[in-house]
Amino acid sequence: MTATKAQNHPASDSRGDALRAVDAFLAELPKKDDVERAIDEGRHIAAIVTPLGLPQELLAAVHLYPLYRNELIGRNKLQNSDLKNLSRFIIGMQQLHQFSLPAQWQPGEALAVQQSEALRKMLLAVVSDVRLVLVRIAEQLYRLRQAKEAPREQQQALALETREIYAALANRLGVWQLKWELEDLAFRYLDPDTYADIARTLAEKRGEREAFLDAFQMTLKSELERQGIHGNISGRPKHIYSIWRKMQRKDRGIESLYDIRAVRILVDDVSDCYAALGVVHNLWSYIPGEFD
């Protein structure tokens, strides 16, 4: 009888006790616009961090966090509910949210005392519970995605804060996909004309690039298997901000860049790494001056 019940409700069981409790809690809240917007934001932020493998208790707290941040639910309501064990996560997220760069701040300027203290707490959180910082990075990405119709000044302030703080944190923590999107959206708001020019150039040759990457990976996979090397191969076009940075560093136009496509090979150990590199060099000659 118990086994039959489990088979009949796989989706419900997969969400876990904490997420089911949050679903029930949210369903009891009043149907107001500000409440619905906060619930929607929680869902979007949770969707961003879910691929990072965070525990279900933390994901459940993410769903509630915008409501707490916007003062739509208070600490007492959390503490007096079945969700009191999530409150420590939610309060930690709120503390990280308090940082923002001063208006009109420019790179190289000293931060005001209040912002410096908030940034210090954020960096301390990296040591105490790095998972909360991942949620704060995801919140920043959500804000960027939502800023498409925001006033230009607001977009630029948000983009500068993202580039200087959150993209750098994402880079340090190794969450590359978040880093790339943060950098590209920030670049789009800070220099929309250059962003559009590069995006247009890439779009014109997208099919050609994708076909090249597919053929390249098939050739490489076949040769690695022939040599007995087990590797996971992935390919992607470089993101727009990294292309722009390389254009600036090398003082070249996009048509003169060799590496607007990238292929990564992940292997099990160092010896396989060098063996895979040997396979690559046997298949293709490296370009002098471009090999790191």
Q: For each of the chain's 292 residues, which pLDDT tens digit applies? A: 334 344 444 444 445 788 898 999 899 899 899 999 999 999 999 999 999 999 999 999 999 999 999 999 988 888 777 788 898 899 889 888 877 777 777 776 666 776 767 776 777 676 678 899 999 999 999 999 999 999 999 999 899 889 888 898 898 888 988 999 999 999 999 999 989 988 887 776 667 777 888 898 999 999 999 999 998 998 776 788 888 877 777 666 665 555 667 788 999 999 999 999 999 999 988 877 777 7
How distant is the alpha carbon of residue 199 from its chain centre?
Answer: 20
Is residue 237 a contact partner of residue 207, using CB atoms and an 8 Å limit?
Answer: no
What's the pLDDT score for residue 2? 39
Contact 77, 136 (CB under 8 A): no
pLDDT at 8: 44
Owner of token pair 């293709």? 284
| 211 vs 218: CA distance, rounded Å | 11
- The token pair that represents 159 in the structure block: 């983009």
Alpha-carbon distance of 231 to 289, in angstroms, equals 27
pLDDT value, residue 272: 94
Q: Quick one: pLDDT at residue 283? A: 92
Vertex 267: Cα angle to 265 and 271 (nearest 5): 115
Written as six digits, the tokens of 186 are 């920030």
**pLDDT recorded at residue 12:** 41
